[in-house]
Amino acid sequence: DSGVTQTPKHLITATGQRVTLRCSPRSGDLSVYWYQQSLDQGLQFLIQYYNGEERAKGNILERFSAQQFPDLHSELNLSSLELGDSALYFCASSVGWGTGEYNEQFFGPGTRLTVL
Amino acid sequence: AQSVTQLGSHVSVSEGALVLLRCNYSSSVPPYLFWYVQYPNQGLQLLLKYTSAATLVKGINGFEAEFKKSETSFHLTKPSAHMSDAAEYFCAVSDLTGGGADGLTFGKGTHLIIQP
């Protein structure tokens, strides 16, 4: 158990809909990262927040957005869903920012999104 | 931009045999390199990481990897495979060109199969 929690575990929805995925980082971690794992694209970095502020952006679509709240939990919002958005969405957390020697990312178990 | 290539989407070895999973990276500056393992229906777990200290890195569960700058490689090895090693393995890279604030770039993954 990494200490990172994600809810829900599974989500099934229809095209055009909007969903929210939630992540609670490990106690004491200030950074939250979101990744998407799909058969087509593999594991891709989406976005990172550090202490409530957006820190880095990866291959995140404009239909997707995220935020980190004062209690440090984070939500990933996916809107106007398409079939191709079906994937496993991982959240990771770390103490600080960057990927240096002392800033290991700990991954949650993921949320499996199925768009029908 | 950095990238990672994992040779072989599937690798099959016999129990007790040597495990060798290949990873080559492309980065404009010396990177940090990571190997993660993903068991079915679980998140990613860090096996080991290279952060410019010793080039031979020892990780958990008997795995180790050697950073070879001349070959731009970071292959993962284990002397004797266990049935419990069956999983998906991901090589990942980061570099410091973005000021250190960036997510990881992952390879496509290698599925390790252990034959009894």
Question: What pLDDT is attached to residue B99?
Answer: 46
Residue B98 in tokens:
């973005």
For range A41-59, the mean pLDDT: 91
Query: Are B80 and B18 spatial neighbours (Cβ–Cβ below 8 Å)?
Result: yes
* Confidence band, pLDDT 50/70/90 cuts, at residue A64: very high
Tokens of B78: 């284990």
pLDDT at B24: 95
CA distance B57 to chain A (A): 13
For A72-110, how does the pLDDT look when each residue is reduced to its tens digit (9 = 90+)? 999 999 999 999 999 999 999 998 876 566 678 899 999
**Cα(A88)–Cα(B4) distance, rounded to whole angstroms?**
20
Partners of A44 on chain B (C-beta within 8 Å) are 106
CA dist list (Å): B100 to A98, B51, B83: 4, 13, 37
- The pLDDT confidence band at residue B93, using thresholds 50, 70 and 90, is confident
Residues B73 and A3: beta-carbon distance below 8 Å? no
Does B106 contact chain A (CB < 8 Å)?
A: yes
pLDDT number for residue A2: 85
User: What amino acid is encoded at B63 in this protein?
Assistant: F
Interface residue A107 vs chain B (CB under 8 A): yes
Among B44, B89, B95, B106, the strongest candidate for a mutation testing the A interface, having the largest count of A CBs within 10 A, is B44
Hey, is the C-beta of B43 within 8 angstroms of any chain A C-beta?
A: yes
Q: CB of B63 within 8 Å of any CB in chain A? A: no
Residues of B in contact with A99 (CB under 8 A): 32, 94, 100, 102-104
pLDDT of residue B96: 57
Alpha helix positions (H), B4-109: none
Q: What are the pLDDT digits (tens) for B5-29?
A: 999 999 999 999 999 999 999 876 6
Q: Is B27 on the interface with A (CB under 8 A)?
A: no
- The minimum CA-CA distance between B44 and chain A, rounded to whole Å, is 6
d(CA B39, CA B83): 12
Q: CB distance from A98 to chain B under 8 Å? A: yes
Shortest distance, CA B25 to any CA of chain A (angstroms): 16
A7, A93, A99, A111, best to mutate vs chain B, most B CBs in 10 Å: A99
- How many A-B residue pairs are in contact by the CB < 8 A criterion? 67
Residues in chain A: 116
- Any CB–CB contact under 8 A between A88 and chain B? no
Compute the distance between CA of residue B29 and CA of residue B42 in angstroms, rounded to an integer: 32
Q: How confident is the model at residue B81 (pLDDT cuts 50, 70, 90)?
A: very high
More confident residue, A58 or B35: B35
